[in-house]
Each structure stands twice: as structure tokens, then as C-alpha cells.
Amino acid sequence: MKRNILSLLASCLLFSAFAQNSLEGVYVGLEEMCYTDKSGKKDCYTDPAQPKYKWYHLCYIKIKGDSVYMDQSPVAMYKKDTLFSASDGAFYYYRGTMSKKDTTVTIHLKEYYCDYCAVRSQIKPDGTRQVIKREKQYAGRLTAKGILINGYLFRPTAGKPYLNSEKPRRGS
């Protein structure tokens, strides 16, 4: 009984810390490598060489005040086996902002740069091409264990103290 009360108290204190704007730090979680087509059908990246593996982006999110940085690397998982890719699915780096209200976090991100990515562009009326940066928006829910985003838990981590998305780019 005493142990249960202590455990409940520890959980309440951790949740209270999240609720009091102490979100600063680095979080790690997964994002499916999927998209929804025009008809509303969900389509996920697959590798014919490893059809049982499901592909994700391993995401590191760093929150500093209301600024957010996110690095994404492709990984494939099957049961307890994880494959880290050298190029499949690309390596995305985002920057943005976040806002918090009660137990809800809203994160707005814009692509900072990307390695091994196709460049999205459109042709302007004058015939020149304009690069279109990818944007993401997440609505997360704070829990005692981290931030729940799209059904995946992003847990606080002591690893990755400095993300690539924080670094200044050459020529920027």
C-alpha cells in the first residue's frame, strides 16, 4: 500500500512538472513513414527486400522555450530487430515553434534542410522553379511518461543533447 502511494505520488509530481512548462529537453519517438493519398488511403513505405519490416522515422525533438528542433532518421523494425538506414526515407531536419495549453502541445515545424531527399518545387509564372519546404504540424498530449503524438510516445532522453537542426547551415 505504502509503495503504491509513493508510486502514485511520483507519477503526479512528474505529470505536474510537465504541466508547469518544464517541457525543455530532448524527446525521442517514432513517426510512421506513411502518407495519405488523394482518396484518403494510407500508404506506407516498404522495402521489397524486407517485406516484414515496417519503416519509421526515428525522431529526436528538442524543446527550448517555445522553439522546437526535430531530426528524423529512417529505421526499419520487425519484432525486436531494428535496421538503421543509410539513405532510405531521407534524413529530415526541421525547426519551428510550439505552444502549450493545459495538457495539449501544438508544434509547428518547417523543413530546415534534408539529406537524401527529393526536392519539392513548383514552376512560377516567370518559368523559374521555387523550392517548397515541407511543413508539419503536430498536436500532442502530455502524459506522465512524455508527449503522445499520433499514437506514439515521445519520451524524454538524456541522449542527443545537440541536434543537427540546431546547427547553422553553410550559406545561411
pLDDT at 8: 42
Q: Which of 88, 60, 61, 64 is nearest to 74 (CA)?
A: 88
pLDDT at 2: 45
CA atoms of 137 and 73, how far apart (whole Å):
18
pLDDT at 16: 45
pLDDT at 88: 63
When computed from its CA atoms, the radius of gyration of the chain, rounded to whole angstroms, is 19
Low-confidence ranges of the chain (pLDDT < 70): 1-21, 87-89, 171-172
pLDDT at 18: 45
Give domain limits for the chain: 2-166
pLDDT at 129: 94
Q: Which of 24, 43, 22, 17 is nearest to 32 (CA)?
A: 43
Q: β-strands 91-101, 104-115: how paired?
A: antiparallel
pLDDT at 53: 94
Instruction: Read off the pTM.
Output: 0.80
